[in-house]
Structure 1
């Protein structure tokens, strides 16, 4: 197995893990948690699951970024090309540009979610407040959507843009 295929394989596994975790949270955990009736109990369950899955999700994101950089090398995209606006007028450049924007969006949304929840907990609050619950739901949905789009763009990159 060559380094190129190993890099791509690790990238795909990390993407599958990350998207799978997001789908599991939305499609399996959320319906179960919402049957719990008590808002404080639901908030506590989400907090515990979030703390348990956080290192795995952040690890998957870190692996995606690291292997993504490696995959750029194997796509023969030098660093200096990323700063050339003309590159983004090519099919490969356009696809890569959208993918990089999507990845940036995912990273920013992840930080927004983690910072908002950490600040709420630090103030002694619980995630039972409606605005924080809504923020958590929408950030999760948007992150999943961006993850699916970024995955599709990654597939396009493998076939030339």
Structure 2
């Protein structure tokens, strides 16, 4: 197995893990937690699941970024090319540009979610307030959609843009 294929394989496994975890939360955990009825109990369950999954999700994101950088090398995209606006007028450049924007969006949404929830907890609050529940739901949905888009763009990159 070459380094190129190992890098791509690790990238795909991390992406599958990240998207799979998001789908599990949305399609399996949320309906089960919702049936609990008690808002405080639901908030506590989400908090516990979030704390348990956070290191795994952050690890998957870190692996995605690291292997993504490695995959750029194997796509023969030098660093200086990333700062050349002309590159983004090519099919490969456009696809990569959209993928990089998607990754940036995922990272920003992840930080927004974690900071908002940490501030709420630091103030002694719980995630029972509607605005925080809504934030958590929408950040999760947007992150999943961005993750699926970024995955599709990654597939396009592997076939030349």
Q: TM-score, normalised by structure 2?
A: 1.00
Matches of 2:55 and 2:82, distance apart in 1: 30
Partner of 1:61: 61
Equivalent pairs counted in the alignment come to 161
Look up the match of 2:97: 97
- Matched residues in 1 for 2:113 and 2:40: separation? 19
Alpha-carbon displacement from aligned partner over 1:39-85 (angstroms, at most 9, x marks no partner): 00000000000000000000000000000000000000000000000
Output one character per residue of 1:66-111: Cα deviation in whole Å (capped at 9) or x when no partner. 0000000000000000000000000000000000000000000000
Q: For 2:93 and 2:13, locate their aligned partners in 1 and report how far apart those are by CA, in whole Å.
A: 24
After TM superposition, give the deviation of residue 119 of structure 1 in Å.
0.1
- Aligned-residue offset at 1:17: 0.1
Separation (CA, whole Å) in 2 of partners of 1:9 and 1:128:
40
Question: What is the distance in 1 between the residues matched to 2:51 and 2:124?
Answer: 17
Structure 1 stretches of 5 or more lacking a match? none
CA distance in 1 between counterparts of 2:49 and 2:97 reads 33
Cα distance in 1 between the residues matched to 2:150 and 2:41: 34
Shift of 1:160: 0.1
- SS of residue in 1 equivalent to 2:160: coil
Q: CA RMSD in A?
A: 0.1
Runs of 4+ in 1 over 6 A off after TM superposition: none
Q: Unmatched 5+ residue regions in structure 2?
A: none
